[in-house]
């Protein structure tokens, strides 16, 4: 038997089974001491043994609350509180926006302080959150275009309200439109945290760096992966299990991965990519193309192409031909 396991077992056995009032008597002191030792070892290995005087990193729980509040103020009568009435809509939006931006400011300061190792990043955080707030009307307009695209593209949708309230692809895009703004403002850790919350809830994995045009529709959605440097045009539709990924990862002379280089596909306007298709590398899918289900594609295709899994080739429409 492992010596440490024997010691832990002996410590547990020496703890009385119950307190005088009958509650279990857990070996709290030993566990707390062991966890303190583990934390100290980790911090020393990461050179974080200095005193920071408080929380060092943004809070996932705080960020979940911030995103929920932002969704509510973007769509007050559908994602806002159930008791809200239209006559108090502006008051609700203003009040919620004030509280939410203040909460976001606190989280942005934490990231900037962590990244820059600077104790007073207040001014930069303030500029960041002000720019984020100014972008919210445009975020709302983009999300409206996504909702309309989902309604127009799905014969099962009965209303735009059903789309907004029920469709996982729209939930993922609410998160992405917000995360992409944060990413562009340089708070990439917060952006990634927002994106991963949507990933956990929907099974749709969109890196916040991906650039996505208006009218984007992900039907069903589970298993969709869109990489950091992907560029997607307007009125594009994806189905479940589509991957827009990297074909290879370049390294520097020391063998470390090169960060931020373009390595994901460019998808032009009005492209449809069906379920299970995988498009890899910095290739371009031309405007109006259709990529069939389960296709594996690592080359560019011109506008108007039709790529099928069975043929493994693209068909380019000739001038004057029916399409």
Q: Same structural domain for residues 192 and 242? A: no
| Residues 228 and 197 placed together within one structural domain of the fold | no
> What is the pLDDT at residue 129?
98
Q: Which of 203, 233, 258 is the last residue of a domain?
A: 203
Give domain status of residue 26, yes or no.
no
Q: pLDDT tens digits for 213-237?
A: 999 999 999 999 999 999 999 999 9
Q: What is the CATH number of the domain that holds 318?
A: 2.160.10.10
pLDDT digits (tens, 9 = 90+) for 13-30: 566 677 778 788 888 999
Q: How far apart are CA 133 and CA 229, in angstroms?
A: 24
Position 146 in a domain: yes
Residues 198 and 165 in one domain: yes
Higher pLDDT, 180 or 44: 180
Percent of the chain residues topping a pLDDT of 90: 74
Token pair in block for residue 273: 């990519």
The answer to whether residue 16 sits within a structural domain is: no
pLDDT band at 321 (very low <50, low <70, confident <90, very high): very low
155/240 same-domain check: no
> 142 in helix, strand or coil?
helix
Question: Tens digits of per-residue pLDDT, 96-128?
Answer: 999 999 999 999 999 998 887 555 678 999 999
Boundary-marking domain end, from 146, 171, 203: 203
The last residue of a domain, from among 172, 203, 234? 203
SS (H, E, C) 239-283: CCCCEEECCCCCECCCCCECCCCCCCCEECCCCEECCCCEEECCC
- pLDDT tens-place string over residues 195-215: 999 999 999 999 999 999 999
Least confident of 9-13, 61-65, 105-109, 315-319: 315-319
Give CA–CA dist 6/121, Å, rounded. 49
**Does 234 fall in a domain?**
yes
189 and 267 co-located in one domain? no
Query: Is the domain of 114 the same as that of 184?
Result: yes
In a domain, 62, yes or no: yes
Integer angstrom CA distances of residue 33 from 38, 50, 117, 214, 312: 9, 19, 29, 54, 61
Residue 64 counted as domain residue: yes
Do 68 and 189 sit in the same domain of this protein? Answer: yes
Domain interval for residue 123: 58-203
226-284 pLDDT, tens digit each: 999 999 999 999 999 999 999 977 777 777 777 778 999 999 999 999 999 999 999 99
Residue 46's pLDDT band, with cuts at 50, 70 and 90, is confident
In 3D space, the residue among 111, 192, 91, 97 whose CA is nearest the CA of residue 139 turns out to be 97
Residues 67 and 185 in one domain: yes
Distance CA 298, CA 318 (A): 23
- 121: domain CATH number is 1.10.3130.10
Q: From edge to edge, which strands make up the β-sheet containing 266-267? A: 211-212, 231-232, 266-267, 284-285
| Total of domains in the chain | 2
Same domain, 75 and 186: yes
Indicate whether 90 and 190 sit together in one domain: yes
Residue 300 lies in a domain: yes
Residues 258 and 166 in one domain: no
User: Are 191 and 75 in the same domain?
Assistant: yes
Helical residues (DSSP H) of the chain, grouped into ranges: 3-14, 28-45, 60-74, 76-79, 89-116, 122-153, 160-166, 168-184, 188-202
């Amino acid at each position: 038997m492992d010596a440490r396991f024997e010691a832990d077992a002996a410590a547990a056995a020496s703890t009385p089974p119950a307190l005088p009032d009958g509650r279990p008597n857990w070996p709290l002191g030993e566990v707390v001491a062991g966890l303190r030792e583990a934390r100290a070892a980790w911090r020393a290995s990461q050179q974080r043994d200095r005193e920071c005087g408080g929380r060092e990193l943004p809070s996932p729980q705080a960020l979940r609350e911030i995103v929920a509040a932002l969704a509510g103020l973007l769509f007050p009568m559908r994602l806002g509180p159930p008791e809200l009435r239209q006559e108090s809509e502006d008051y609700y939006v203003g009040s919620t926006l004030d509280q939410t931006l203040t909460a976001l400011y606190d989280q942005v300061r934490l990231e900037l302080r962590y990244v820059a190792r600077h104790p007073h990043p207040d001014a930069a955080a303030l500029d960041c959150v002000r720019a984020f707030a100014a972008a919210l009307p445009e975020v709302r307009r983009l999300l409206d275009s996504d909702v309309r695209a989902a309604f127009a593209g799905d014969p099962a949708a009965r209303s735009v309200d059903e789309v907004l309230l029920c469709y996982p692809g729209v939930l993922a895009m609410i998160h992405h439109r917000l995360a992409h703004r944060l990413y562009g403002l340089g708070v990439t850790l917060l952006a990634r945290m927002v994106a991963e919350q949507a990933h956990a809830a929907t099974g749709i994995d969109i890196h916040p760096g991906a650039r996505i045009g208006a009218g984007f529709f992900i039907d069903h959605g589970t298993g969709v992966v869109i990489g950091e440097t992907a560029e997607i045009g307007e009125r594009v539709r994806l189905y479940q299990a589509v991957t827009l990924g990297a074909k290879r990862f370049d390294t520097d002379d020391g063998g470390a991965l090169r960060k931020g280089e373009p390595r994901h596909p460019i998808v032009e306007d009005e492209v449809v990519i069906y379920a299970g298709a995988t498009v890899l590398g910095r290739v371009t899918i031309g405007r109006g193309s259709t990529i069939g289900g389960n296709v594996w594609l690592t080359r560019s295709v011109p506008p108007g192409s039709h790529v099928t899994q069975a043929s493994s080739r693209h068909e380019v429409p000739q001038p004057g031909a029916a399409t």
